[in-house]
Amino acid sequence: MILMKNLKYKYLTKNELIINLDRLSRFKLPQDTYKRVFYDVLLKCLINPKYGISELDKLPAKEICKLFKLIWNSSVEKVFAAKKNDENNILKELFIHSFKNIDEYIKQYINTEINIKPVLQNIDINTAPKNLINLKLNITKRKDELTYPVNKLIIVEGITEEILLPVFAKKLGFDFDKKGIFIIGAGGKSKSPALYMKFKNKLKIPIVLLFDNDAKEIYEELNPILLNKDKIIMLKKGEFEDILSKNLIKRALNNEYETILPIKKKDLNIHCKMCDNLHYIYRTRQLGEFKKAKFAQIIAKNLKYKTDITSEIKDIISCINNR
């Protein structure tokens, strides 16, 4: 048992409070989040007693949570002159909504009610991470704008889909944020199955996986073990760049690179794969290296009309929305 009268600790700064609240509220498995954040704060702030990781591992979870709560609430009171400890269980509510099978040890961390309202009141909504903005909306009871909790997880292969699907959906009137649809890029089709298995039995919410057309073997591997609430969508052809509107690609690149020789639609038909065409255009026009993330951002910036969205992308978004 820790003797609180001998306890000495440093306060967290405003920036540290914001960073750690951001880490606590991200959509991740709680066992990957809570213990790490609590440990990091104690390792940084505790002066007496001073612990290493091995010593913290020997402490009961209730002692770690008690120390974290004390340091957090004291820091909030000092930094924001918060006279009242307005402890809030909204973080717990968010995890309980989306996650299941949380072990009893981690539940003790999640059940730690800390004062987060003053932190959220002092974030800049123009620069803060989306999850903190969502929390702020929740705390301030602006339910009409509430974008938490997460109601559905979408696992995609790469960054292009991760960036563009929410943008296309919003143009079609399906706001992924307001519907609580969260997208994770797996970093390649080969990594998607492991990511699905990581979340499969830990989520109450549906999971939708989106694959390029060349993932038939993975589909055959995963489909028999999918839970009833989950679904796989496969592109009818090629990869995501192949189902983008060529008119949109042409307009977006010409708007972005105004000084180059204008790109014509025929320039996007030289190779069968759109990415091969884009690599060729970037190389021959000396635009630097073709990078999917930057390309997706250019497409998003130049999206203007619903007609910029192809029928297959509309079908994918409709399937995600109705699942």
Banded model confidence at residue 86, pLDDT cuts 50, 70, 90: low
- The side-by-side arrangement of strands in the sheet containing 181-185 is 181-185, 152-156, 207-211, 231-234
Q: What is the DSSP letter of 257?
A: -
The count of structural domains within the chain is 2
Helix (H) or strand (E) holding 211: strand 207-211
Measured N-to-C along each axis, helices 274-284 and 246-256 cross at an angle, to the nearest 10 degrees, of 20
Output the pLDDT for position 137. 76
Is the CB of residue 112 less than 8 Å from the CB of residue 69? yes
Range of the domain at 51: 4-144
Give the pTM.
0.87
Output the pLDDT for position 56. 95
Residue 256 backbone dihedrals phi, psi, to 5 degrees: -75, -40
Output the pLDDT for position 321. 87
Q: pLDDT at residue 5 above 50?
A: yes
Q: pLDDT at residue 131 above 90?
A: no
Q: pLDDT at residue 286 above 60?
A: yes
Cβ contacts of 318 within 8 Å, gap of 6 or more: none
Output the pLDDT for position 133. 84
Q: Are residues 62 and 166 in the same domain?
A: no
Q: pLDDT at residue 254 above 70?
A: yes
CA angle (314 as vertex; 152, 185 as ends), nearest 5 = 45
Output the pLDDT for position 138. 74
CA distance 323 to 315: 12
Which parts of the chain fold into alpha helices (H)?
A: 14-25, 30-45, 53-58, 61-80, 90-98, 104-110, 117-121, 130-139, 159-171, 176-179, 192-200, 216-222, 246-256, 274-284, 292-302, 311-322
Q: Are residues 81 and 214 in the same domain?
A: no
Beta pairing partners, 156: 185, 210
Output the pLDDT for position 1. 44
Output the pLDDT for position 247. 95
Cis peptide bond upstream of 149, omega within 30: yes
Q: Are residues 133 and 202 in the same domain?
A: no
Q: Are residues 213 and 127 in the same domain?
A: no
CA distance 43 to 56: 9
Kindly report, residue by residue over 152-188, the tens digit of the pLDDT: 999 999 999 999 999 999 999 999 988 889 999 999 9
Of 127, 144, 161, the residue that ends a domain is 144
CA distance 31 to 12: 23
What's the length of the chain?
Answer: 323
Q: pLDDT at residue 142 above 70?
A: no
Q: Are residues 127 and 262 in the same domain?
A: no
Task: From 69, 96, 225, select the one nearest 209 (Cα to Cα).
Answer: 225
Banded model confidence at residue 85, pLDDT cuts 50, 70, 90: low
Output the pLDDT for position 124. 87
Pairing of strands 46-48, 8-9: antiparallel
Q: pLDDT at residue 125 above 90?
A: no
Of 129, 144, 159, the residue that ends a domain is 144
End-to-end CA distance of the chain: 50
Q: Are residues 272 and 318 in the same domain?
A: yes
Is the CB of residue 119 less than 8 Å from the CB of residue 129? no
Percentage of residues in the chain with pLDDT exceeding 90? 75
Q: Are residues 242 and 93 in the same domain?
A: no
Output the pLDDT for position 89. 78
Q: pLDDT at residue 39 above 60?
A: yes
Q: Can you tell me the mean pLDDT for 86-103?
A: 85
Q: Are residues 82 and 198 in the same domain?
A: no
Q: Please, what is the average pLDDT of the chain?
A: 91
Output the pLDDT for position 147. 55
Q: pLDDT at residue 233 above 50?
A: yes
Q: Are residues 99 and 66 in the same domain?
A: yes
Q: Are residues 214 and 240 in the same domain?
A: yes
Q: Can you tell me the mean pLDDT for 27-47?
A: 95
Banded model confidence at residue 323, pLDDT cuts 50, 70, 90: low
Q: Are residues 62 and 181 in the same domain?
A: no
Q: What is the DSSP letter of 122?
A: T
Q: Can you tell me the mean pLDDT for 124-128?
A: 86
Pairing of strands 207-211, 152-156: parallel
Is the CB of residue 7 less than 8 Å from the CB of residue 74? no
